[in-house]
Chain A
Amino acid sequence: MLNRIRALIVKETLAVLRDPRNRAALILPPLLQLMLFAFTATLEVKNINLAVLNEDYGQVSSELIQRFEASRNFRNIRFVDSSAALRDLVDRQTAIVGVHFQADFSRLFYAGRSPSMEILLDGRKSNAAQIVQGYIISIIDQYNSETTAPGAQARKEVSITARNWFNPNLDYIWFTVPSLIVIITLQVSMNVTSMSVAREREMGTFDQLLVSPSGPLEIMAGKTIPAFILALAEATIFLLVAVFIFRIPFRGSLPLLYGSLIVFVASIVGIGLAISSIVATQQQALLCIFTFMMPALLMCGYTTPIENMPNWLQPFTYANPLRYMMIIVKGVFLKSMPIADVIGNIWPMAIIAIFTLTLASWFFRRRLA
């Protein structure tokens, strides 16, 4: 029986890898995605174009503008001379934010009457706009704390020191690339398993498999184990790229990471096989993959934090294996997460895996019967 399974595994792995176009489709898109995601999937805002309307020309506004120019977040500062022009630049998205100093800005400041500068934000990009607003406010804060303004002997009572643990410079790539290891593992294990039965049915080789001496469980094992091998292989490539090319520190334990990945793949493979035994064509399989992957990816805390979601929707994320794997991968990578915390995230995945694999074998037997 072991021999039969081994033969099936070899056959399945070859079936995936033999066709050069198939092979390319399995390897190229993930790599492309790695490069793309690593550089684009950032909610960080850099190279900002700022439009400034300065009607003040006093010392305070000039100093603030100099500070904007010196900040590495701002790339271009465009000066305009009317509020219509300011509005126009924001309208056409030439500038994401417009700053307006009124004529008496510096005078008010020296009179001890705390003037306000006006900030116009483009709500079409609310996240970016809020982040830019944050940058501007922190520049103002710094100005306020360094400049002794006239008017009072008062002083600030509280000082704030900011620290960011695990990623002191808040480098976005340290977040995206480890998460990508999970995404790629998901994609490969899903693609390999869910397309496999459909492809055999379309090519008519599934019937040959049925008349072979292999039992349903053996056939299932033959279909899942290549998925494990390929998924873990691509995860390893990504891991190496993360550590050696992107220079992201790997602080935790490698066996813990692989152990969790295996449980994770088990939970995904179950879903993939279930899809594979329901659908009739590869096209339908692809659609099912898609309908599963989009919600799974968008509701795992990767794109946006889970606590931003409405309360009624949050409980659904507990059924999503990605939710746990994302915590583990960042924890093991950056935080050197203790084993107890990792296990706390593995057992929910294990339960999901048992559930999906049982479901898959049930569908599989029904299909064979």
Chain B
Amino acid sequence: MNHPSMSLRRLRSLIWKEALQIISDPSSILIAFVLPVVLLFLFGYAVSLDITGLKIGVALEERTAESESLVAALRDSKYFDVKESLDRRGLERDLVSGRIRGIVIIPINFSRKMVWENDQSPVQVIADGSEPNTANFVQNYVRSAIGVWSQRRAMETGTDMPSQVGEESRVWFNSSLESKNFLVPGSIAIVLTLIGTLLTALVVAREWERGTMEALMATPVRIQELVLGKLIPYFCLGLGSMAFCTLVAVGIFRVPLRGSLLSLGLITSAFLAGSLGIGLLVSTLSKSQFVASQIALVLGFLPALQLSGFLFEISSTPPPIQGLTYLFPARYLVQALQTIFLAGDIPVLLWTNGFVLAGFAALFFFLTARVTHKRL
């Protein structure tokens, strides 16, 4: 340890060197500003969990006033795009080829059975189980459309409906139930992971590959300065990209921002620090761009997509995988971002998540510092 203290001047010039490299390399700008737009665009428009226009076929095996009125009720629903047919076999072929998602069969004797005292008219709903989520929605929506239809009929004909339990649903934070409102904040987490982990891993691995890292180490620069000199510019790049994403999310996709900018900034910083740490660690260990990028994708991108609860519900996964989600920072970031955007600053939730993220950051810095030392 010939140079016990850190020199601000050296640090400044290292940061300057890195900043110049960022600006001169188009791929950094691509990752920080172009890719985020592509991702936000995809999660704002292309990925939508809001079901509309489900293509279903109705096999109308008898034509009576009642069956026609049921078909009309299905047609009126905004959830369905109805294809009518007299023959169920044609519809079954459509179900196999994937042209429709489900079949509603209104059988012969439908109207007669409706008025028989001790019988009910059987309607069959067949959904395409090869897409389970859509199949679920087909079943639920057809059921509720038929329920509404028979209630309306009972009112029109003046027959008494038996006393029934009903429900009244209220949705908090996202009353229009638009999936983009939680997908867009969640996709910001992916953007931050890409910048933090993937970009850093690539950049540092390139320096190792080209041998410029060893060259730097031969200079009086200390490890801490080297690490900070790499991290600070990318940290700023990440914050800039975050600000940009927030603008796009609020300005173009009309996602509400109910929490404060301060909490948004703090959570982002805590996450970025940790994710830069992972990127640095990965590249230092692998020293090859291809390998570093693959590991960065597995450790950064995949968990952000799969284990963060941003698209897929964590509680639906088997317990070991639920345990796994706690080991990656993405989970905490996604929960915090969705809350800050849609619900506002809920202190308990933000403090816990922020605290854990800061813990991750500290851990990865410690590890990187140790590994880089050894590598000398």
Contact = CB atoms under 8 A, between A and B. Distances in A.
Contacts of B181: 123, 126
B165 A159 contact: no
A115 B163 CA distance: 8
Interface residues of A, number: 121
Nearest to A133: B169
Contacts of A334: 129-130
Given A155-B162, A160-B123, A163-B127, A47 B42 contact: no
Report the 9 A-B pairs with minimum CB-CB distance, sorted nearest first: A123-B174, A167-B129, A152-B160, A164-B129, A149-B163, A25-B294, A159-B120, A127-B49, A170-B132
Given A42-B313, A154-B160, A295-B46, 11 more contacts: A36-B306, A64-B165, A125-B313, A143-B165, A144-B165, A157-B150, A161-B122, A166-B128, A287-B31, A334-B130, A337-B97
A308 B164 contact: no
A158 B120 contact: yes
Contacts of A171: 132
A21 B339 CA distance: 40
B46 A299 contact: yes
B349 A92 contact: yes
B306 A41 contact: yes
A175 interface: yes
25 contacts: A21-B286, A33-B298, A40-B312, A40-B321, A41-B312, A43-B133, A93-B349, A123-B177, A124-B342, A125-B313, A136-B167, A149-B162, A154-B154, A154-B162, A164-B139, A169-B129, A170-B136, A281-B289, A282-B293, A298-B42, A305-B51, A307-B81, A327-B98, A334-B129, A335-B130
B171 A303 contact: no
B96 A298 contact: no
Interface string A165-177: 1111111101100
Nearest to A168: B129
B120 A156 contact: yes
Nearest to B126: A163
Contacts of B50: 126, 308
Most buried by B among A123, A163, A175, A335: A123
B133 A44 contact: yes
Interface of A: 21-22, 24-25, 28-29, 32-33, 36-37, 39-49, 60, 64, 75, 90-93, 96, 109-131, 133-134, 136-138, 140-141, 143-144, 148-172, 174-175, 195, 199, 281-284, 286-287, 290-291, 294-295, 298-299, 303-305, 307-310, 313, 327, 330-331, 333-338, 341, 344
Contact of B132 (A28, A161, A174, A283): A174
Contact-size category for B: 35 or more
A137 B140 contact: yes
Contacts of B182: 123-126
Interface of B: 27, 30-31, 34-35, 38-39, 42-43, 45-55, 81, 95-98, 101, 114-115, 120-137, 139-140, 142-144, 146-147, 150, 153-154, 159-175, 177-179, 181-182, 202, 206, 286, 288-291, 293-295, 297-298, 302, 306-307, 311-313, 315-318, 321, 335, 338-339, 342-343, 346, 348-349
Contact of B54 (A143, A172, A307): A307
Given A21-B291, A90-B172, A327-B98, A138 B165 contact: no
A286 B39 CA distance: 16
A251 to B, nearest CB: 11
Contact of B127 (A25, A93, A165, A307): A165
A80 B126 CA distance: 39
Contacts of B174: 123-124, 126
A113 B116 CA distance: 26
A294 B129 CA distance: 26
A158 B163 contact: no
A283 B27 contact: yes
Most buried by B among A143, A144, A163: A163
